[in-house]
Amino acid sequence: MRRTVLLLVTLASGATTNLAGQCEPPRPADAMTAVHALNQQYIDAAREGDAAWFERHLAEDVVVVLGGGARVLKPEFLARVRGRTSGYRSMTVRDVTVRVYGTTAQVDADAPWERSDGTRGVSRYIDSWAWLDCRWQVISAQITLLPQPDGRE
Protein backbone atom coordinates (compact mmCIF):
# COMPACT_ATOMS: atom_id res chain seq x y z
CA MET A 1 0.00 0.00 0.00
CA ARG A 2 1.33 3.36 -1.02
CA ARG A 3 1.01 6.29 1.38
CA THR A 4 1.17 9.91 0.42
CA VAL A 5 2.56 12.32 2.95
CA LEU A 6 1.67 15.98 2.64
CA LEU A 7 4.22 18.42 3.91
CA LEU A 8 2.65 21.73 4.85
CA VAL A 9 4.74 24.86 5.05
CA THR A 10 3.30 27.84 6.89
CA LEU A 11 3.94 31.13 5.14
CA ALA A 12 4.16 34.61 6.71
CA SER A 13 0.65 35.24 5.37
CA GLY A 14 -0.63 32.40 7.52
CA ALA A 15 -1.28 30.24 4.47
CA THR A 16 0.06 26.76 4.00
CA THR A 17 1.42 25.11 0.90
CA ASN A 18 1.87 21.44 0.30
CA LEU A 19 4.49 19.63 -1.76
CA ALA A 20 2.36 20.13 -4.86
CA GLY A 21 2.65 23.90 -4.32
CA GLN A 22 -1.06 24.32 -3.71
CA CYS A 23 -1.94 27.18 -1.44
CA GLU A 24 -4.48 26.74 1.32
CA PRO A 25 -6.12 29.72 3.05
CA PRO A 26 -4.84 30.37 6.56
CA ARG A 27 -6.59 29.17 9.67
CA PRO A 28 -8.46 31.97 11.51
CA ALA A 29 -5.80 32.46 14.20
CA ASP A 30 -3.03 32.60 11.59
CA ALA A 31 -5.12 34.95 9.42
CA MET A 32 -5.65 37.26 12.38
CA THR A 33 -1.91 37.38 13.11
CA ALA A 34 -1.05 38.03 9.46
CA VAL A 35 -3.66 40.76 8.99
CA HIS A 36 -2.59 42.46 12.24
CA ALA A 37 0.96 42.60 10.88
CA LEU A 38 -0.26 43.84 7.49
CA ASN A 39 -2.30 46.55 9.19
CA GLN A 40 0.83 47.89 10.90
CA GLN A 41 2.66 47.78 7.56
CA TYR A 42 -0.27 49.70 6.00
CA ILE A 43 0.06 52.46 8.62
CA ASP A 44 3.85 52.56 8.16
CA ALA A 45 3.41 52.80 4.36
CA ALA A 46 0.87 55.62 4.75
CA ARG A 47 3.19 57.54 7.09
CA GLU A 48 6.20 57.06 4.80
CA GLY A 49 4.35 57.62 1.52
CA ASP A 50 5.39 54.13 0.37
CA ALA A 51 3.40 53.75 -2.86
CA ALA A 52 5.26 50.51 -3.69
CA TRP A 53 3.79 48.84 -0.60
CA PHE A 54 0.28 49.88 -1.65
CA GLU A 55 0.93 48.74 -5.22
CA ARG A 56 1.69 45.23 -3.87
CA HIS A 57 -1.09 45.00 -1.27
CA LEU A 58 -4.13 46.70 -2.84
CA ALA A 59 -6.32 44.52 -5.05
CA GLU A 60 -6.53 45.76 -8.63
CA ASP A 61 -10.20 46.70 -8.18
CA VAL A 62 -9.88 48.20 -4.68
CA VAL A 63 -12.15 51.10 -3.76
CA VAL A 64 -10.86 53.68 -1.27
CA VAL A 65 -13.14 56.28 0.28
CA LEU A 66 -10.97 59.12 1.53
CA GLY A 67 -11.59 61.25 4.61
CA GLY A 68 -13.23 64.00 2.57
CA GLY A 69 -15.61 61.54 0.92
CA ALA A 70 -13.88 61.15 -2.46
CA ARG A 71 -14.08 57.63 -3.84
CA VAL A 72 -10.89 56.62 -5.68
CA LEU A 73 -9.62 53.52 -7.41
CA LYS A 74 -6.13 52.07 -7.18
CA PRO A 75 -4.43 54.23 -9.85
CA GLU A 76 -5.67 57.49 -8.34
CA PHE A 77 -4.88 56.37 -4.79
CA LEU A 78 -1.32 55.46 -5.81
CA ALA A 79 -0.94 58.81 -7.60
CA ARG A 80 -2.07 60.62 -4.45
CA VAL A 81 0.45 58.71 -2.32
CA ARG A 82 3.25 59.43 -4.80
CA GLY A 83 2.28 63.10 -5.20
CA ARG A 84 1.80 63.97 -1.54
CA THR A 85 3.97 66.96 -0.71
CA SER A 86 3.18 67.31 2.99
CA GLY A 87 4.39 64.11 4.62
CA TYR A 88 3.61 62.85 8.05
CA ARG A 89 5.83 63.62 11.02
CA SER A 90 4.07 60.82 12.87
CA MET A 91 1.24 58.35 12.47
CA THR A 92 0.37 55.63 14.93
CA VAL A 93 -2.50 53.24 15.36
CA ARG A 94 -4.74 52.50 18.33
CA ASP A 95 -7.84 50.48 19.19
CA VAL A 96 -7.21 47.93 16.41
CA THR A 97 -9.85 45.27 15.93
CA VAL A 98 -9.39 42.47 13.39
CA ARG A 99 -12.30 40.20 12.52
CA VAL A 100 -11.76 37.15 10.32
CA TYR A 101 -14.58 35.63 8.30
CA GLY A 102 -13.09 32.72 6.38
CA THR A 103 -11.17 34.20 3.47
CA THR A 104 -12.02 37.80 4.34
CA ALA A 105 -10.91 39.97 7.22
CA GLN A 106 -11.92 43.38 8.42
CA VAL A 107 -9.76 45.83 10.33
CA ASP A 108 -11.02 48.91 12.12
CA ALA A 109 -8.89 51.29 14.13
CA ASP A 110 -7.98 54.90 14.80
CA ALA A 111 -4.80 56.47 13.40
CA PRO A 112 -3.66 59.65 15.17
CA TRP A 113 -1.31 61.63 12.93
CA GLU A 114 0.69 64.82 12.64
CA ARG A 115 1.84 66.25 9.33
CA SER A 116 5.18 67.94 8.75
CA ASP A 117 3.41 71.33 8.80
CA GLY A 118 2.13 70.68 12.35
CA THR A 119 -1.45 69.82 11.35
CA ARG A 120 -2.84 67.11 13.62
CA GLY A 121 -5.81 64.82 13.43
CA VAL A 122 -7.19 61.34 13.88
CA SER A 123 -8.44 59.15 11.07
CA ARG A 124 -10.81 56.31 11.83
CA TYR A 125 -10.65 53.63 9.20
CA ILE A 126 -12.08 50.29 8.23
CA ASP A 127 -10.25 48.13 5.72
CA SER A 128 -11.53 44.94 4.16
CA TRP A 129 -9.00 42.30 3.19
CA ALA A 130 -9.63 39.26 1.00
CA TRP A 131 -7.57 36.14 0.44
CA LEU A 132 -6.85 36.43 -3.31
CA ASP A 133 -4.11 34.74 -5.33
CA CYS A 134 -2.69 33.10 -2.21
CA ARG A 135 -2.19 36.35 -0.28
CA TRP A 136 -4.10 38.99 1.65
CA GLN A 137 -5.12 42.02 -0.42
CA VAL A 138 -7.07 45.14 0.52
CA ILE A 139 -10.36 45.19 -1.41
CA SER A 140 -11.85 48.29 0.19
CA ALA A 141 -10.86 51.04 2.59
CA GLN A 142 -12.93 53.77 4.22
CA ILE A 143 -11.21 56.63 6.03
CA THR A 144 -13.14 59.06 8.24
CA LEU A 145 -11.53 62.16 9.68
CA LEU A 146 -12.67 62.60 13.27
CA PRO A 147 -13.76 66.07 14.38
CA GLN A 148 -11.18 68.15 16.22
CA PRO A 149 -11.73 68.64 19.96
CA ASP A 150 -12.82 72.22 19.24
CA GLY A 151 -15.53 70.96 16.89
CA ARG A 152 -13.67 71.58 13.60
CA GLU A 153 -13.52 68.78 11.05
Biggest CA pair distance of the chain: 76
Whether 129 and 139 have beta carbons less than 8 Å apart is answered as yes
Predicted TM-score of the model (pTM): 0.83
pLDDT digits (tens, 9 = 90+) for 100-152: 999 999 999 999 999 999 999 999 999 999 999 999 999 999 999 999 876 55
Chain segment 34-62, per-residue pLDDT in tens: 999 999 999 999 999 999 999 999 999 99
Q: What is the pLDDT of residue 15?
A: 57
Can you list the domains of the chain with their CATH numbers? 27-145 (3.10.450.50)
Q: Of 55, 151, 56, 35, whose CA–CA distance to 99 is shortest? A: 35
Mean pLDDT on 74-86: 90
With cut-offs at 50, 70 and 90, classify the pLDDT of residue 6.
very low
As a whole number of angstroms, the distance between CA 82 and CA 49 comes to 7
Give which of 153, 145, 138 is closest to 64, Cα–Cα. Answer: 138
Q: pLDDT band for position 23 (50/70/90)?
A: confident
